[in-house]
Amino acid sequence: MNELKIIGRKPVIEAFEAGLPIKKIYLAAGVSGGVIQKILACAERKKVRCTTLNRNALQRMAGPENHQGIIATMDALPALTLDELIAKASQRTNPAFALLDGIEDPRNVGAILRAADGSGIDGVIIPERRSAGLTPGAIKSSAGAAFHVPVAEVTNLARAIDALKAHNFWIVGTDMAAEHTPWQLDLKMPLAIVLGSEGKGMRRLVREKCDFLVKLPMLGKVESLNVAATAAVLFYEIVRQRSKGTE
């Protein structure tokens, strides 16, 4: 099994609080602070070995990420199958998933996971290929949300959409050429929101399988929002619609 690096203070403490099996902690020499002390206390309780490195060695481990003086390692997070994800959400009324169609920037994946956690999205579906997965960068950008949001990996996103439709999910794609905005749709039903890649959007076959296409109106000079910002707007529109009448 591949080893996963958890980089940064917030992701490491979230991993401990989520009960994940941390194998080892690497600390920068001289690092201190309340969060670090909390992590060390967790490591002591869990009998996790801690090793001190100089900052250059820790940065080499972290690669391009800001390590904030700490890196933890564990076995790679196990992804669910689509059937497992659907079964996990089946007890919820009108569950909602996000499908990532070719999103390659780990920071966008992490930000989407963070928005999904905050808005109560029931799971995120990621293709095994041509897409950023649960990398250290994605986990760090998620601020720990990657440890709380169920993630399924699929070999073929189009077939995954067909499977979701067989379970009575409605598929909503994001497309700047769409005629409708998300607040013109009734989102109080089982949903799968498809978010296309940063440059090209959804692939043609995935787009054709959508039941509805929506866009966010752009009133300024730029053509579109970042995909993670778009995801957050859509997720919270679901929250807004579903909370009406229950306030």
Q: What is the mean pLDDT of each run of 10 residues along the chain (247 residues)?
A: 82 87 93 92 94 94 91 84 94 94 91 96 89 76 85 94 97 91 94 90 93 92 87 96 70
33: left (phi over 0), alpha (psi -120 to 50) or beta: left
Please tell me the number of Cα atoms within 13 Å of 35 on its side-chain side. Answer: 15
pLDDT tens digits for 75-110? 877 778 999 999 999 888 899 999 999 898 989 999
Contact between 27 and 59 (Cβ < 8 Å): no
* Percent of the chain's residues with pLDDT above 70: 97
Asked whether 126 and 152 are in contact (CB, 8 A), the reply is yes
pLDDT, one tens digit per residue, over 119-152 is: 999 999 999 876 667 777 788 888 778 888 999 9
Kindly report whether the global pTM for this prediction surpasses the value 0.85.
no
Our measurement of the distance from residue 67's CA atom to the centroid of its chain's CA atoms, rounded to an integer in Å, reads 20
Q: What is the DSSP string of 11-62?
A: HHHHHHHTT----EEEEETT--SHHHHHHHHHHHHHT-EEEEE-HHHHHHHH
